[in-house]
A and B are shown apart, each in its own frame.
Chain A
Amino acid sequence: WCVPLEKTVSVTFPGDVLKNMTDMELAESYLKRFGYMNVQHRSGFQSMVSTSKALMRMQRQMGLEETGTLDKSTVAAMKAPRCGVPDIRS
């Protein structure tokens, strides 16, 4: 009855720097790398903000809809080529 579905094969390419990551892994790494996760307090003590709040900050910075969730446009923005300087200073 059904047309056979073509199986998507994912290959680990030798020497490839970018590893296959889930969107959530990508998001966490992105939010940390660009300064959205860490918040420095007046005392100098650093703490992590929630992923949802960090996502909202990132979405605001990038001019995306502030949903606080890892939606399609946010993932696309995280995969886009960019400068390596963090967006949020510590």
Chain B
Amino acid sequence: YQTFEGDLKWDHHDVTYRILNYSPDMEASLIDDAFARAFKVWSDVTPLTFTRLFDGTADIMVSFGKADHGDGYPFDGKDGLLAHAFPPGEGIQGDAHFDDDENWTLGKGAAVKTSFGNAEGALCHFPFSFEGKEYSTCTTEGRSDNLPWCATTADYGRDKKFGFCPSELLYTFDGNSNGKECVFPFVFLGETYEGCTTEGRSDGYRWCSTTENFDKDKKYGFCPNRDTAVIGGNSEGEPCQFPFVFLGKKYDSCTSEGRGDGRLWCATTSDFDADTKWGFCPDRGYSLFLVAAHEFGHALGLDHSNIRDALMYPMYSYVEDFSLHEDDVEGIQYLYVKCYSFNSLHSFPLSSHPGSKTGPDPTPPGPTIPTPGPSDEPEPNTPTTTTTSPTTTHPVDPSQDACQINKFDAITEIDGDLHFFKDGQYWRLSSKTDGGLKGPFSMSERWPALPAVIDTAFEDLVTKKIYFFSGTRFWVYTGQSLLGPRSIDKLGLPSTVEKVEGALQRGKGKVLLFSGENYWRLDVKGQNIDKGYPRFTDIVFGGVPNDAHDVFHFKGHIYFCRDRFYWRMNSRRQVDRVGYVKYDILKC
């Protein structure tokens, strides 16, 4: 998963939303329900609650629009772009827009909710049989009032359950007429109209007057789409006309002839060549629920995932029994579940007694008596024994000055102290005290199996095991016991990786491993790389060098080093400082 730059998120958990308008494709209650279910996807796995507002400004304003709908990011007609949403914030931020040139359904073809009749608003059942004939769309057969209807069970003759399908003869939506039906003919700007029209509007929505004279009464509403209506083209809302003539040839069904994209279309008059009136044929459409759930993910702060099965993957695919992917859950919980927050992940208590692995410090609090001299090392403040370093280590060459080193082999935080490795030696810098830099110490005394030059190291925050990487091999120290060397491909890293140059603990049991311009997420417990990796470092950690040779955590910040310089990134993934390792960190 990814979050937006700066981890944009709502600063409150009671998020509000408002539905500004409706699509003609589905009845309003179906749209309300789809949105409510889409929000529930996220509230089920977070402390977030979603409250619908009916007026005023909500955090998330939800609307349908076509093409250029006013935010500078136009839609592109049917298919292609389906919707977009803005990350959390004021104004347009947090809002979600749905392209109304799409055919919005529940994912499996027209979702036609009935009105009146005797089915209590049930959905149409397609196909249904009526007087020996099977129908896959609403029909006006059997009626003299021209109202489309459908059966809500498979067999009308047996069950006699039916309702009326959406039509402008039954109701309108939005507008200012409280859903009243169209009145035909009606007068608009002196012209008489016999059906819904897009005249007078730039957004392509079909409307009608709900009195016989719009010019006088100014009462109007938008026309719902019939399930048989074409989508897009230049005849939105009209039914296909079969047969129709196209380039001199007669067609009795929808065709993809004449189009390079293979999409099915039909003419809405009997002669396309003469009238050029057409539209795309109704299809399965896009699940408003699934697309809304994805967009609301953006509105809550999630960016696109590169895991194909994740909801936040950028492409649409229909799934019947939806459940949120663990990647989406991790992403949203990273933003909104406190124990999963970035800061808290890196605020594990730093032991004041490096090496203590036996639980809380059994000694009472109080001043410690420092003992001068290098023989205090490595545990100057504690008389307790350690499992990581039972042998006393000694500085091997006091003349070696860390301040003379421009580029360390590896830098990492172990037991709360920053360790600087270079050619078989290391220095320690306490993160808690201003005790300054200690060392150098011999790597071979404390970790005898390691080669002199290591590329990176990290301490698993859960098990306290320390992982060292050198070239394509790694070693794991648990106290003095050793595992390795093993090949890094045992961790799932590809054979093309020549070395691991940086490591960042990211939550319990997860570590990011950096190499070149890529990074992978290691599941330490499972000893494998998570799905969806590698990712490009500069995409997620914008503004840091692509070729950092050290990446590490220190005091709540992430550091990327190149040469003698570091780029410091805060918990909002903003580079807040660039400086010298030697002067700013080592205090040379």
Contact = CB atoms under 8 A, between A and B. Distances in A.
Interface of A: 9-11, 13-18, 20, 34, 39-40, 42, 57, 60-63, 77, 79-85, 87-89
Q: Which secondary structure dominates chain A's binding surface? A: loop
A75 to B, nearest CB: 12
A11 B272 CA distance: 12
A88 B539 CA distance: 7
Contacts of B332: none
A11 B258 contact: yes
The size bracket of the interface on B is 35 or more
Nearest to A43: B543
B77 interface: yes
Q: Which secondary structure dominates chain B's binding surface? A: loop
A84 B259 contact: no
B436 interface: no
B247 interface: yes
A57 B79 CA distance: 23
Contacts of A87: 304, 314
Given A83-B81, A83-B84, 13 more contacts: A13-B278, A14-B234, A17-B67, A18-B80, A60-B535, A62-B306, A62-B308, A62-B315, A77-B315, A79-B261, A82-B80, A83-B82, A89-B542
B245 interface: no
A60 B536 CA distance: 9
A56 to B, nearest CB: 10
Contact of A61 (B5, B257, B306): B306
Contacts of A20: 260
Interface centre among B5, B81, B265, B575 (most CB of A within 10 A): B81
Interface string B529-540: 000001110110
A18 B315 CA distance: 18
B73 interface: yes
Interface of B: 4-5, 67, 73, 75-85, 99, 101, 232-234, 247, 257-261, 265, 276, 278, 286, 291, 294-295, 298, 303-304, 306-308, 314-316, 534-536, 538-539, 542-543, 575
Contacts of A18: 76-77, 79-80, 261
A10 B258 CA distance: 5
B81 A82 contact: yes
A83 B304 contact: yes
B303 A63 contact: no
25 contacts: A9-B247, A10-B258, A13-B234, A13-B258, A13-B265, A14-B276, A16-B233, A18-B79, A39-B538, A42-B543, A60-B306, A61-B306, A63-B307, A79-B261, A80-B315, A81-B286, A81-B316, A82-B315, A83-B294, A83-B315, A84-B73, A84-B75, A84-B82, A88-B539, A89-B539
